[in-house]
Structure 1
């Protein structure tokens, strides 16, 4: 149980793919113009992560070491194809918005890395938990970054929710201010780089303060006196 809890903690915070490993930055920086875009890509990535982790864990003892990476890529590509077909069928407009970054999930180093570093060496249940935790952690970063850029750039949060959830979700949009012209610096790639840098800085500050607080709580052992 403690091992699974540590796997979850690593995926969500300690070893977050976006904030610590800095993997999958191409889609992360490109599509997070809005929170909905980030959520859509995050769900797709999580589905692929969980599916590939579980599959690799099941067949890990039957995969020749010499060709394991090509096999991992093939498995990941099959799950990405399923995601493409599902999004094309049920969230077509969002699929058009995300564009090439859905098939590019195949090349996401975070997914291949988890298959190689974790799923190929652990049973099914821990691999499932690892894939889910890593996917949720990645999705949260996508949503936060997308939400910040959307708020600064156009004054809304969750605009375009109907692209993912259906027409009823139009009412979920929160508008904080009305502007005649969007703040393009926040919506275009420079805003993504600055936003991600701020998120990484916040995480480092939180980790540093947590470490300092933990060190203060540790009892100070007395220095043994040397006998003369």
Structure 2
């Protein structure tokens, strides 16, 4: 498979940040009360992820290791500020709905994880496709959760009322517990599909990162968990 297409496939399916890696759970559970919120949050994160990946990749040989993480945060924060101002000016309703979770994109584990594990070690173009893949995977995850919660909680989809469900509202799905329930069911469905693919003779590509004993490819690298980690295969600690 072409390397760039592989990065897209990686983010959308093999290592989907929402349903496989379980990253970015704070906005995933908080803002997905509607499908529009899910798309808005997902695309905002995607824009920041792509631009920050490209910038960090372009500067990877210029940023000293000792200030690596502060430099990454400055780059990400700059793009988040731009996205925040644009949303405030052109999409005020969505901006108000997402609230504090727009500036909190700065510390989203997906963005810092990809910057540390991929963009800082690879050229600009592959890093761009990695950002697009992970961002779209995140967007798809948030949108699916938002669609289910909106249908069950409000009887609508994308703010369009569904006539048969006008009197069928389950308030629970508009609240935090409903987000956990929907996420759990969608993760279970995805796991069933993945297992059926493997049984049908279509095994998924070998996992990278901690599960494969390759910490250099792990999205939960030192950006999120610190410098010390343990391989699961041999139990040896590396620093």
TM-score (norm 2): 0.82
CA shift at 1:15, angstroms? 0.6
- 1:21-36 mapped onto 2 (5 Å cutoff): 21-36=21-36
The question of whether the paired residues in 2 share the 8 Å contact of 1:32 and 1:146 is answered with yes
Which residue among 192, 196, 216 is the counterpart of 2:179? 192
Q: Which residue does 1:51 correspond to in 2?
A: 51
In structure 2, stretches of 5+ residues that fail to align are 204-239
Which residue among 151, 161, 164 is the counterpart of 1:177? 164
Once the two structures are superposed, residues 98-133 of structure 1 have per-residue CA deviations (whole angstroms, 9 ceiling, x without a partner) of 100000111100000000011001111100001011
CA shift at 1:174, angstroms? 4.8
Give the number of aligned pairs. 203
Q: For 1:177, what is the secondary structure of its paired residue?
A: helix
Determine if the alignment matches structure 1 residue 104 to structure 2 residue 104. yes
| Higher helix content, 1 or 2 | 1
The question of whether the paired residues in 2 share the 8 Å contact of 1:156 and 1:177 is answered with no
Quote the Cα distance in structure 1 between the aligned partners of 2:202 and 2:42. Answer: 36
Structure showing greater radius of gyration is 1
Once the two structures are superposed, residues 172-209 of structure 1 have per-residue CA deviations (whole angstroms, 9 ceiling, x without a partner) of x2524344584210110111001111111111111111
In structure 1, stretches of 5+ residues that fail to align are 160-172, 217-228
Q: Which residue does 1:219 correspond to in 2?
A: none
Once the two structures are superposed, residues 70-124 of structure 1 have per-residue CA deviations (whole angstroms, 9 ceiling, x without a partner) of 1111111111100110000000111111100000111100000000011001111
The question of whether the paired residues in 1 share the 8 Å contact of 2:155 and 2:168 is answered with no
- 1:25-174 mapped onto 2 (5 Å cutoff): 25-159=25-159, 173-174=160-161
Quote the Cα distance in structure 1 between the aligned partners of 2:20 and 2:142. Answer: 14
